[in-house]
Chains A and B, each alone.
Chain A
Amino acid sequence: MDIIVCLKQIFDLGQIMVDTATKHPITEGIARKISDFDKNALEEAVRVKEKHGGTVLALIGGAKEAAKEALAMGADEAVIYNADTDSLGTATIMAEIIHKMKYDLILCGEASIDEFSFQIGPRLAQALGIPVLTYTREMELKDNEVVVERNLENRYEVAKARLPALVTVTKEINEPRIPTLLQILGASKKQITEISIEKPEAGIETLRVTAIEMKRKEVILKDIEDLARVIISEKS
């Protein structure tokens, strides 16, 4: 089973401050990390490899540090590229890279937690001409097929697709492992390939990002009875 898992390196949103004058996010000096659901996808890929054998290749829109983390978590090799474009452009770049690779299964997070576009998985599957199963909370491989349970908010749906296929996963599917020291040191021997691809013209260009101002209500409660009254009135 040869698996490609798609990862995006994003700013650690918990560390981002907002410029009080311009309302623009301050990203200078902010640490980066692998997007949360993408880590779930990587964990699932490694678990499939541990159960069925095969390889895991991490395809990463980001820098070497993210590749090292992915390798420490269990990927066998990593390919990094610069994806500073919109969802369509990113999926186009990824498809161009993956076209030259051998794979049975592609795993993605359902969305990146910085943009939440939910587009990469479906767009990539379309570009590669393979079936896509989104919002997967459970996954099993049987007889050259992938069987998944999808979380569709008001219902769960069980579906299957023949391989090769692309699956996007939700946070529920697993708890990603935290790499140990030995896994981190072991990762330094694994291969990281950097691919430079000409950026396709973006269909959508982000012009400005500003924070939404959340005004505090500044309600001062005198005592516990006061608090109880507020809770009861909000509930009713």
Chain B
Amino acid sequence: MDFLFKEEQELFRKSVREFCEKKIAPKANEIDEKGEIPRKVLDDMAAFGLLGITISQEYGGSGADFITAAIATEEIARADISMATAVYYLVEAGWGFLMNRYGSKKAREELLPDVTKGKTFLGIASTEAAGGSDVAAVSTTMAKEGEKLMVNGSKTFISGVREAAKYGGGYVTVVKTSPELAHKGLSLCYLPVKDVPGITTNVFKQMGRDGISTGAIIIKNVAIPAHYLIGDWNKGFYYAMEGFNCARPLVAAACIGAAEKALESGIEYIKERRAFGSPLAKFEGMQFQVAEAYAKLESARLLVYKAAWMLDQMYTKNRFSHKEINKAVASAKLVAPTVAFDIIKDVLIWHGAYGYTKEAGLEKGLRGVASYIMGAEGAQNIMKLIIGRELLGKEFAPY
């Protein structure tokens, strides 16, 4: 057993941290206030090889494994604790991997180089108005019509809608292709959204991670080419679950990155800030909170990197069953957002009235991390259901 990162991974973390401190951190407030990640930041991230990092080199990616992708996620979220930049990055890293693995060669060649160059956005469109947790209940349909595939329906709470509609790009989209077969009647397709007849989008006002938009996509008689089918017909449910398993450790990595940065700044603050004649850090009540925050964060971090490591082992050495992966990934996604939310909230309170200001820079972290407690990339209760099903057996699954 060895808990050390490889030398290359340590060097990569050092590099990404330096990059993020220079190119992302100075823009973090602007990203949150203006509600947009500047194109220059995205161009720099692309030039540095961060966008679509898991996509293979032939399409301009780095073919990174999930430990490496998680390291970058953690560092990006440290630099922009609103989570917006990390979300833009991790959605592409998680779902770009899936597109790279199951997309047709023609679609990969056509779409992925622009993703890795930062020209277009690649996201996931699964959730619908009736709910997001019950993927099998998706009602957006796709049918074969001659040489084309015809898509109808709507998706909601989708990250990056404005960016994809404005600059180009599209979504790994979950659609129903055989309604009578329940979850076995789902497929995945790539759905472009910029200047596509039949596509309309709208953007929601949210409480946080404002730098990347969230909104809805209305799909009316949208014809897409047949090569935009991802993987096999009616196998979409399994691909989607695999995609969520790839994206969720990165989500959890983003949460711990934001919390780490908050905790570090909180520790600095309580060592300097004096009350009743001594630094706040001298008070036992503060030290207990620091210790608990550290221990919880370290536990979440271990879960994140264990899940990422298990994914890498599965893809490169065929180790670990889907059951084992499901449990590890769901545990990381269950624990990290809550731990991160609690730590950022506590650090904010340590700052007193200053913590309540935007200047302190903490509240945007709290608003951002909250999205992953609400349910982005899988609700917390779904994580519990996954773990429960794998521990107790399918026969005890409530649904």
Contact = CB atoms under 8 A, between A and B. Distances in A.
A159 interface: no
Nearest to A180: B49
A115 B68 CA distance: 35
Interface in A42-96: 64-65, 68-69, 72
Interface residues of B, number: 17
Interface residues of A, number: 14
B7 A178 contact: no
A180 B62 contact: yes
Interface string B20-44: 0010000000000000000000000
12 contacts: A33-B14, A65-B10, A68-B8, A178-B19, A178-B22, A180-B62, A181-B49, A181-B64, A181-B68, A182-B49, A182-B62, A184-B12
Contact of B7 (A68, A179, A181): A68
Interface of B: 7-8, 10-12, 14-15, 18-19, 22, 48-49, 53, 57, 62, 64, 68
Interface of A: 33, 64-65, 68-69, 72, 178-182, 184-185, 188
- Majority DSSP secondary structure for residues of B touching A: helix
B15 A178 contact: yes
Nearest first, the 5 closest Cβ-Cβ pairs linking A and B are A180-B49, A181-B62, A178-B19, A178-B18, A178-B15
Contact of B12 (A33, A64, A181): A181
B49 A65 contact: no
Contacts of B19: 178
Contact of A69 (B11, B48, B53, B62): B11
Contact of B15 (A64, A65, A180, A188): A180
Contacts of B64: 181
Given A68-B7, A180-B48, A184-B8, 17 more contacts: A33-B14, A65-B10, A65-B11, A69-B11, A69-B14, A72-B15, A179-B15, A180-B15, A180-B49, A181-B49, A181-B64, A181-B68, A182-B57, A182-B62, A184-B12, A185-B8, A188-B8
Nearest to B69: A181
Nearest to B48: A180
B62 A65 contact: no
